[in-house]
Amino acid sequence: MLEFKEVTKTFEGSKKPAVHKLNLSINKGEFVVFIGPSGCGKTTTMKMINRLVEPSDGQILVEGTNVLDQDSVQLRRSIGYVIQQIGLMPHMTVGENISLVGSLLKWSKEKQRERAKELISLVDLPEEYLNRYPHELSGGQQQRIGVLRALAADPPLILMDEPFGALDPITRDGLQEEFKKLQKEVDKTIVFVTHDMDEAIKLADKIVIMNAGEIVQVGSPDEILKHPANEFVEDFIGKDRLLQSRPDVTRVEQIMNANPITVKEERTLKEAIQVMRDNRVDSLLVVDEIGTLKGYIDIEMIDAQYKKRSYVYEAMDTEEYSVHKSDLLRDTMYRMLRRGSAYVPVIEENDRLVGIVTRAALANMVYDTIWGDETAEVAAAD
């Protein structure tokens, strides 16, 4: 779809290239985010795609054709473009703004109108807005229109230069989510420039981290968080995010206790109490002969029912509540905290009980995340 080959840009009067021998290929339908500190060449790289900046050397191929071999005006009409300052024409209505590229392409008035209606229905705005002027809209609404304007001629590729950078955090959050959904619906290749790592992680299929005109690392958000290429990337991502990202990729299996205290369902309540006493716990997971999770029983249930019932399977609670061993820990944590339960049984295929995650295990893990490094250092020092 889009390919950079040894692309270099040196601005007049500067010795150091703004972008140096950049190689990258972007697939169709990918959401690629360029990120880096200011002056790293990310915006320059993006602007070379639609020739707002002319590359000094190397090739940029859009669907196999070098952009320098195409008429720049035609090229730009075939690529969507959204900028941070939104750039809606204040003297045109919202409808006229949306169909601006259409008017450049000499579409008929009806076609422009139809397309504008079609597009505005994609975002959460009423059709009457087409007749309003941009200044009557809020910043978030204006940038929605800015995005629609880029979609108007249905370009396969859209360039976005920090499109949500000027919006307040709440509006930005909403718009990011809306946009990510929209991108899936319309299936466009998107090149997005930002300096906001949260935004990049949230939106990108592929993050391109740049510094001083060169690519430092390319990868999915997960890859970059898990394996930052070097110190620069780590610093850029930020310690907080690296720590936060750890539980994100930990699976339940990794922290569960593989030896949960269990009792077989056909045992008597007396035997169950014995097991509790021996193991100093107040509840037991109930399993059958082959280890399938059946339910749980705790001391209060036994206390309330030991006169009427005599077997575990009669008194136990069979409520289905467990997590799979390959589930992500962050989901488990959320479920445990929400339910206020002290533990969650862990199962594998066929409901076979394989372990348990307790609050204590979570506490241990959080402890390791926060102080783990220090403890290791102290241990090393000793």
Partner 1 sequence: MEAIITTLSAYGWDLLEKTGEHMFISLAAILLGVSVAIPAGILLTRIPKVADRIISFVGVLQTVPSLAILAFLMPFLGVGVLPAIIALFIYSVLPILRNTYTGVMEVDSSLKEAGRGMGMSNWETVRKIELPLALPVIMSGIRFATVYLIGWATLAAFIGGGGLGDLIFDGLNLYQPS
Q: Contact positions toward partner 1, by CB under 8 A?
A: 50, 52, 73-78, 81, 83-91, 100-101, 104, 149-150, 159
Q: Are strands 2-9 and 343-347 parallel, antiparallel or unpaired?
A: unpaired
- CA pair distance 276, 288, nearest whole angstrom: 18
Give me the least distance between CB of 218 and partner 1, in Å please.
Answer: 25
> Closer CB to partner 1, residue 81 or residue 192?
81
Give me the least distance between CB of 355 and partner 1, in Å please.
Answer: 56
Give me the least distance between CB of 77 and partner 1, in Å please.
Answer: 3
Q: Residue 352 gets which letter from DSSP?
A: B
Place of tokens 């939106």: 203
* Contact yes or no for 295/319 (Cβ under 8 A): yes
> Closer CB to partner 1, residue 84 or residue 217?
84
DSSP H helical segments within the chain, as ranges?
Answer: 42-49, 72-77, 94-98, 100-104, 109-120, 139-151, 169-186, 197-203, 221-226, 231-237, 239-249, 252-255, 269-279, 299-305, 312-315, 329-339, 359-381
> Closer CB to partner 1, residue 147 or residue 323?
147
> Closer CB to partner 1, residue 115 or residue 149?
149
The angle, 0 to 180 degrees and rounded to 10, between the axes of the packed helices 239-249 and 359-381 is 130
Give me the least distance between CB of 85 and partner 1, in Å please.
Answer: 3
> Closer CB to partner 1, residue 85 or residue 244?
85
Q: Output phi, psi for 89, to 5 deg.
A: -75, 120
> Closer CB to partner 1, residue 87 or residue 247?
87
Give me the least distance between CB of 120 and partner 1, in Å please.
Answer: 18
Which helix or strand (DSSP H or E) is residue 357 part of? strand 353-358
- CA pair distance 6, 141, nearest whole angstrom: 39
* Contact yes or no for 104/58 (Cβ under 8 A): no
> Closer CB to partner 1, residue 50 or residue 211?
50
Give me the least distance between CB of 176 and partner 1, in Å please.
Answer: 21
Give me the least distance between CB of 157 and partner 1, in Å please.
Answer: 13
- CA pair distance 149, 95, nearest whole angstrom: 9
Give me the least distance between CB of 104 and partner 1, in Å please.
Answer: 6
In this structure, how many other beta carbons lie within 10 angstroms of the beta carbon of residue 328?
15
> Closer CB to partner 1, residue 15 or residue 106?
106
Give me the count of residues in the chain: 382
